[in-house]
Structure 1
Amino acid sequence: MMGPRLPAATAPSQPKSNRRPEPSGTGRRLTIWYGVLIFILAIFIARLFYLQVIRHDYYRAQALADQLKEYTIEAERGVIKAKSGSGQVPLVLNEKLYTLYADPVFIKNARDSADKVAAVMGAKADDYEKLIKTPKTRYVVLERRLSEDQRKKIEELKLPGVGTQPQNYRTYPQGNLAAQVLGFVNNDGEGAYGVEQALDETLKGVPGKLKAITDAEGVPLAASRDNVQIDPRTGKDIVLSLDLGMQKQLEAILKQGLDSSKSASGGALIMEAGNGAIRAMANFPTYDPASYFKNTDAQVFNNALVSSPLEVGSIMKVLTIPAALDQGVVKPDTSYSDPNHWNLDGHEITNIEEIGGPGTRSITDILNRSINTGAVWLLMQMGGQTGQVTDIARERWHDYMVNRYRLGQPTGIEQGYEAEGSIPEPKKGYALQLTYANTSFGQAMTATPLQMAAALAAILNGGTYYRPTLVDSIVDASGKVQIQKPEALRSGVVSPQVGQELKSMMEYAVAHHSFKKPFPANFSVGGKTGTAQIANPSGGYYDDRFNGTYVGFVGGDKVQYVIAVRVNEPKVGKYAGSGAAQPIFGDLAHMLINDFNVIPRSR
């Protein structure tokens, strides 16, 4: 018999665990990548926050700097006018024209572009093609001074890399009148030569500026709060002291006179004796300032009356005589024994044959007969010793030439370049007696016709040296007028009495020299010729090359106008002053008397 059944044995139970099953290898890798992504995203968000919030202003400024371009707005240049009666006439105006340019980088077919441009411009396509194919820069100028009509036709072609740029150009309503006085404006917009250069700062104004946000192609956006515009300030207008009618007649008379004497070149000026104002001034040959770039010789741009000093010859006697009179060493009626030669420093100074040899001469004879030895004698008297040009004589004469007559230094006239001329030092150098003796009749020194005219005016107006000027007034954009007042640089150059004495001597000289027609008796006309041999750079002087000069005046009881004439290498023999310069002076004097209200004598 079986006993009771026992329950089946079971394994002891295990305690329960909270640990998760370990992930597989793939799960572990995913976890790592998720962590990395979250970390990167956190960095990105932090960086974005840094850039957009913390560094927002900085990067906005950087973006603006890339998009914000600065453009210069050209200022309109002031115009230049001349006086005409009670009014004014423009000599130089502005005209908006265009420059045609090419950027070769954007031109795929140079020949095709050149052909199309040439068809509009009426020029040779070969020239344009050469410029495009051989550029020195990416900005290649093909033409200047395009009209509005030409600009439109070029723009209609829509040629890649070809465009136009507006630019103000100078125009000249009176053609080449007073060209060397005026000067011109070069392609960089700068005044060159003449008044344009001397008064460039006054004329050019102040350029404006435009700071503008641009699009992707660099075109300014019309509306942006970041745009800044500073408007340009227009330059000031210049009203010259030149009289239009007088200038025209002077140029015609000068041209005719130079042609008649077959002169290489020459010039003439008319100055008011009482204030230094230049009423007319011209040189030949001249040029057209509207096409100045066609000239290959830059010398034609110079105003030789102020920029080219020369040995002035015997017109210097109109300065030597009043110096001796003012020193009191002679009087107008003084007579002396002229030896017709002086020997100084081993060299001989003589006169031309027409003087007639030794004899008793007067101070008026020295001027009228142009006695070189007489001028030297006057210089000797200034030192108190006949036969010697002493230290005292040289120092006194140097004082008159440099300090009173203001030779050897610029006058300050409003021209781009002015020469100083040269006056020898009284105690430096060699052969000083000979050198200073020569200066008394216009050799061994140089001066410009303007310097001589200004010095003579100072003597004849009673003793006041006025700075020569070409400016009557300056007018700003609002119409405010600034009158140019006469600038007296020195008074007491010589005494008024000496001025009257020289005036009488110069009148006598004109009365005893031949002119084409006599001057009216109720007007005062005086003058002096000068002829100087041209210096040879190798030393000495040419025997057959001469310059002629003339200085004189027109007026009544008072001298009203001073005239200076220069004639270079005329074909009239060795008397260039009387043969070539004097006829021009005579015609100018008659012109002034007939047409420009010269006040006659009161009795």
Structure 2
Amino acid sequence: MGSPLKQSKERSLLIGLILTLCMAAIIFRLLWIQVVDAEKLVSQAQESWENNNQVIKAKRGTIYDRTKINALAWEVNAYYFVADPSQIKDVNKTVKLLSPILQIAESSLREKVSQKRRFVPLKENGKFKYPKEVYDKILSLKDNGELKGIYGYKTSARQYSGPQLAHVLGFLNSDDKPVGGVESYYNEKWLKGKDGIIKYKKAKDGMMISDGPEKFQPPVPGKDLVLSIDSSIQNHVEAVLNQVLKSHPAKGATAIVADPRNGEILAMASRPTFDPNRSTSTYTQENGLNLAVQSQFEPGSTFKIVTLAAAINENLFDPNETFQSGTIKIDDQTIRDWQADGWGTISYREGVYKSSNVAFVNLAEKLGADRFQEYIDRFGFGKMNAKFGKKTGLDLPAEEKGIFYHRVPYRSEIATAAFGQGISVTPIQQIQAVSAIANGGVLYKPHLLKEVWDAEQKKLVHREKPTGKRIIEQETAKKVRELLRGAVKYGTGQEADLPGYRVAGKTGTAQKPDPNGGGYLKDKYIVSFVGFAPAESPDVVVYVAFDEPTNAYGSTSGGTIAAPTARDILKKTLQLRGVPPKDEEEFDLK
């Protein structure tokens, strides 16, 4: 063995060598970073510093009814919650406390807060936004030391005035994407606005390393919409539908109220329905259909209004001329009145009042196929030789067009179309067509938007203007109104009559076609009524339809179910719009 002194020198030399090698490695690494990797690392650092774009969500526009006082859809403060499982010491206690507050099943919540990763979103079935009351409850538990590892963050949520207007408004889903209604139709153009951006330099741990943001682009709020909807009328329509469906359960129902002078929709409701405030638990594919614009069915006798107007406009209608009711043969097809034996020899005026199919087949024959089809197109339904009809252009998504023949129709098909059989149309198409009778002959495009406002600047951005074209003469429209008044006073629409307001209109009772072919389903009907008041100077048009209604008291027809429903809607609507009742003054052709 060497001497202690020699061993000490050797250890010192070894330590010095190791230190020298370490220093050399450090120097080499520094040179490598500064020379070889410098450009790459600077780029990574720059990306780390600057790639911190934080989106600032734009405030979504508010939707109002026509008063610009009653909000229908608006933004509210809300909160979402995340869990940091690494901070949760007692999983069972946390689950027991949170489950009733967040309304998340204990089993689901336990799985979330037991995960091995940080920041787990606490959401289930699309529900994750909560009101401030929920946030306050959780904050109180945290302050008391009963809850750890749960964090709440502020966001916004869409609030609706209620289940009313569900199909007109639509809703925002759990991803804040619009589903149906005005929310969807005007999302890009007006409602959603433009999100802002803030960008700043940060260190690896996320701390800001600059005095202010490198870039700041403020959000642009969405614009506010003022709809033509009248909330008071809408609420009444919904209440009436609910009440009628209690006594006459049906597969579906719809009602529309419109101003015939400009195409404004004052109310629109469909059943079944959902609650946009609870869309995750109430919305389905079935109840999400807006029957007013998405349902297509044979209109039945309400379509006779088009045939009548065409014949009068072409000077082919003489109210005092008579015909033999009951049956008529067109080619090899025998067409019958709804009262199989008819009413003997009657005038065409009586034929209108009694809704005689034979009377309207005769009128279509007088018009001829070409002229009759031209008027169907004029009234906004489209061409019968096309496969589909024509949209009205209403500002709602998923509007249907109606269904026609996709070929030149046979003479017998022209005959049945004269009384609303063999073709399919939509409720909104019928509102548009009958409004032209009510207003003196102008076909207006129906619409829901009335105005657009910039809330920040309190500035009107856009005002919707009525779009229409004349399709029949004023005198024609007046004569049709007179006859439709008679159909309510003396004919099938008597249940729609309203003392003091002189309702005019037409009932419809249409058999439903067998989807498997081979004619029509037995005892399956769509019953409807379309009309307006006051007959001499109409203020509103109403359309009501029920799909396969039941009636414990006997008949299920447009006259027994749809007509009284329309009467109840008309009565309140006219009162709300300040139309005073008048003494009975008739102006019909009788």
Give the alignment's TM-score, normalised by structure 2.
0.83
Q: Decide whether the 8 Å contact of 1:349 with 1:373 is kept in 2.
A: yes
Contact 1:332 1:501 in 2 (8 A): no
Decide which of 557, 561, 565 is 2:540's aligned counterpart. 561
Counterpart among 356, 370, 388 of residue 342 in structure 2: 356
- For residues 123-147 of structure 1, give each alpha carbon's deviation from its aligned partner in whole angstroms, at most 9, with x where no partner exists: 5422311455699996562552323
My pick for the range that moved more, 299-308 or 152-161, is 152-161
Distance 2:103 2:293 in 1: 41
For residues 554-601 of structure 1, give each alpha carbon's deviation from its aligned partner in whole angstroms, at most 9, with x where no partner exists. 126422211101112122355420111011111122223333222677
2:200 alignment partner in structure 1: 212
Task: Give 1:433's aligned amino acid.
Answer: R
SS in 2 for 1:146: coil
Change (3 A) 1:99 1:138: closer
Q: 1:482 to 1:397 in 2, by over 3 A?
A: farther
Number of paired residues?
A: 546
Maintained 8 Å contact 1:258/1:567: no
Contact 1:325 1:331 in 2 (8 A): yes
Amino acid in the other structure paired with 2:130: L
SS of the residue corresponding to residue 296 of structure 2 reads coil
**Cα pair distance change 1:214/1:146, threshold 3 Å:** farther
1:33-76, CA deviations, whole angstroms, 9 ceiling, x for partnerless residues? xxx99999998786566469xx66x7434312123322221111
CA distance in 2, matches of 1:287, 1:255: 13
Q: CA deviation at 1:419?
A: 1.1
User: Aligned ranges for residues 581-592 of structure 1 at < 5 Å?
Assistant: 581-592=562-573
- 1:39 and 1:94 mapped to 2: Cα distance? 63
Distance 1:581 1:49, change over 3 A: closer
- Match for residue 148 of structure 1? 132
Question: Would the alpha carbon gap of residues 272 and 158 (structure 1) be closer, same or farther in structure 2, given more than 3 Å must change?
Answer: same
Q: Distance in 2 between matches of 1:168 and 1:139?
A: 16
Q: In 2, Cα distance between the equivalents of 1:177 and 1:116? A: 35
Aligned counterpart, 1:83: 66
Please say if 1:531 is aligned against 2:509.
Answer: yes
Residue matched to 2:256: 269
Match of 1:166 among 140, 154, 158: 154
Shift of 1:343: 3.1
1:101 and 2:82 matched: yes
What amino acid does structure 1 have at the position aligned with 2:390?
Q
The whole-number CA distance in structure 1 between the counterparts of 2:58 and 2:505 is 47
CA distance in structure 2 between the aligned counterparts of 1:586 and 1:381, rounded to whole angstroms:
34
Secondary structure, aligned partner of 1:422: coil
RMSD in angstroms over aligned alpha carbons?
Answer: 3.4
Structure 2 unaligned runs (5+)? 1-20, 383-388, 586-590
The 3-state SS of whatever aligns with 2:565 is helix
Say whether the 8 Å CA contact 1:105–1:138 is kept in structure 2: no
Give the alignment partner of residue 290 of structure 1, picking from 277, 280, 299.
277
Which moved further from structure 2: 585-594 or 231-240?
Answer: 585-594
Cα gap change, 1:474/1:243 in structure 2, threshold over 3 Å: closer, same or farther?
Answer: same
CA deviations 1:123-178 (Å, max 9, x no partner) are: 54223114556999965625523233433554637978754343311112x32122
Q: 2 CA distance for matches of 1:456 and 1:335? A: 25
Matched-pair identity in % = 26
**1:475 alignment partner, SS class:** strand
Change (3 A) 1:71 1:160: farther
Rg larger in structure: 1
- Which runs of 5 or more structure 1 residues have no equivalent in the other structure? 1-35, 384-392
2:467 equivalent in structure 1: 488
**How far is the alpha carbon of 1:500 from its aligned partner?**
0.5
Aligned to 2:360: 375
1:103, 1:139 within 8 Å by CA — same for their partners in 2?
no
Q: Which amino acid aligns with 1:284?
A: R
Verify: 1:471 aligned to 2:449, yes or no. yes
- Which of 498, 502, 515 lines up with 1:519 in the alignment? 498
TM-superposed deviation, 1:332: 3.9
Corresponding residue SS for 2:64: strand
Q: Answer yes or no: is the 8 Å Cα contact 2:436–2:444 preserved in 1.
A: yes
Local SS of the residue matching 1:83: coil
Taking the aligned partners of 2:101 and 2:428, their CA distance within structure 1 comes to 48
TM-score between the two structures when normalised by the length of structure 1 = 0.81
CA–CA separation in structure 1 for the residues paired with 2:340 and 2:30: 109
User: What amino acid is the match of 1:317?
Assistant: K
CA distance change for structure 1 residues 527 and 134 in 2, over 3 Å: closer, same or farther? farther
